[in-house]
Amino acid sequence: MNAFSYRVQTLQPSAIREILKFTADPEVISFAAGNPAPEAFPTEEIARITNEILTTTPIDALQYSITEGYTPLRNWIKDDLKKKGMFGENDEDVVITSGAQQAIEVVTKEICNEGDTIICEAPTFIGSLNAFRSYNAKLVGVEMEDDGINIDKLEKALIENPRTAFIYLIPNFQNPTGKTMSLEKRKAVLALAQKYNVYILEDNPYGDLRYIGENVPTIKSLDKNGNVLYAGTFSKTLAPGLRVGYLCAPKNVIAKAVVCMQVSTVHTSILPQMITYKFVTENDFEQHLEKLREIYKRKSDLMLTNLKMKMPKSIKFTEPEGGLFIWGTLPDGDMPYFCKKAVKNKVAVVPGNAFLTDENAPCLSFRLNYSTPTDEQIEKGVDILAEVASTMYR
């Protein structure tokens, strides 16, 4: 008897989640997670807000609510997006989702027919790839350059795949590479989406975590024709356990997303939405974000300094302007062996092929996270990686 549907038979466990099993060993230093820094959580303020809500309006927080989300928070998000030039141009609306992951999944569910193509950066976020795979989409990866996706190859992919449902992009401090797409390329990608009449799904979980340089306008803010669907989240700026994200898109897309959510989650949990709203309105949210930027810049600088000083010069690393990740690339050899040897020596990194549309494709890269480990763990972990690498490279 075949117990599983065709859609899920080929799904595999997340490589990151599998690697994280090794971190159950307290001796393993994890550079494999994508979690915010423990010191970034405003725990006391969240505790105060939660107590206030459950004391003054407990039924509002614990009762069923509307699928669209907590109205005050939705209105705050709309105002915030409007200030950034991303709302009001194309008759948009907003729905609150269970993290950006649900926004990505529900867009796929409502827009992508079985066998349709989704074009992604290569590499890209594994959680999104698995969402796409769960709907039997054809995945086409387009290689990245230092300033984002290769535009010529993107157009070639669009020509060769006329049944493209959407282009999925993480333009800011991309997961896993840490790269940022240039303004020139953002404009070029949008022009191609308009030329070939496809959506762009812009995933921006790290945009508020820029700690070097000037902000680059989102693709959504450049869109005048309703081609861009925008996924945002409070997971990296407040707390991922609250599971509060959102989708901003034309009203017809949001209306269908609401129906899709009604048959799965009914609505995103209201208590976390109320906590989020009170946090962003009762605190100086920009000051909170600045604190996060200071934390991540210091930790990024610490890891990059140690990598440059201790690792073989032949191994190259990206230098992100924000976000949570550094992308390492070996000059040659066996990347999976390097990652396995590292974890045997008590340091976990993520093999780069986990982020490819074809996990069997050749890959020499691996992902490092600097937000989760302590300063001491960063220094010790890089020491161990350097020792492993020294046996393979000069």
Residue type, 302: L
Whose CA is closest to 84, among 242, 199, 202? 202
pLDDT tier for residue 26 given thresholds of 50, 70 and 90: confident
Residues 124 and 187 both lie in one domain: yes
Residue type, 304: L
Burial bucket for residue 302 (CB in 10 Å: 0-12, 13-18, 19+): middle
Residues 192 and 341 both lie in one domain: no
pLDDT in tens, 117-150: 999 999 999 999 999 999 999 999 999 999 999 9
The answer to whether position 215 is within a domain reads yes
CATH of the domain at 85: 3.40.640.10
Residues 245 and 314 both lie in one domain: no
Domain end among 247, 282, 317: 282
The sign one gets for the Cα dihedral 223, 224, 227, 232 is positive
The answer to whether position 71 is within a domain reads yes
The pLDDT > 90 percentage for the chain reads 90
Residues 321 and 266 both lie in one domain: no
Residues 118 and 240 both lie in one domain: yes
- As a dihedral over the C-alpha atoms of residue 298, residue 301, residue 304, residue 305, rounded to 10 degrees, the angle is -110
Residue the block writes with tokens 């024709």: 225
The answer to whether position 22 is within a domain reads yes
In our burial notation (b when 16+ CB lie closer than 10 A, e otherwise), range 26-57 reads: eebbbbbbbbbbeebebeebbeebbeebeeee
Domain end among 229, 262, 282: 282
CATH of the domain at 338: 3.90.1150.10
Whose CA is closest to 132, among 159, 157, 179, 164? 164
**Which is more confident, 156 or 12?**
156
pLDDT in tens, 46-100: 999 999 999 999 999 999 999 999 999 999 999 999 999 999 888 899 999 999 9
Q: Which pTM was predicted?
A: 0.95
pLDDT tier for residue 316 given thresholds of 50, 70 and 90: very high
Residue 287, number of CB atoms within 10 A of its CB: 8
**Residue 212's domain spans which residues?**
63-282
Residues 25 and 139 both lie in one domain: no
The answer to whether position 51 is within a domain reads no
Residues 35 and 82 both lie in one domain: no
Residues 238 and 90 both lie in one domain: yes
Domain end among 235, 262, 282: 282
Residues 136 and 213 both lie in one domain: yes
What is the pLDDT at residue 89? 80
Residues 178 and 263 both lie in one domain: yes
Flag whether pLDDT at 293 surpasses 70.
yes
Return the biggest CA–CA distance within the chain: 63
Flag whether pLDDT at 334 surpasses 70.
yes
Which DSSP category does 36 fall into?
P
Residues 159 and 215 both lie in one domain: yes
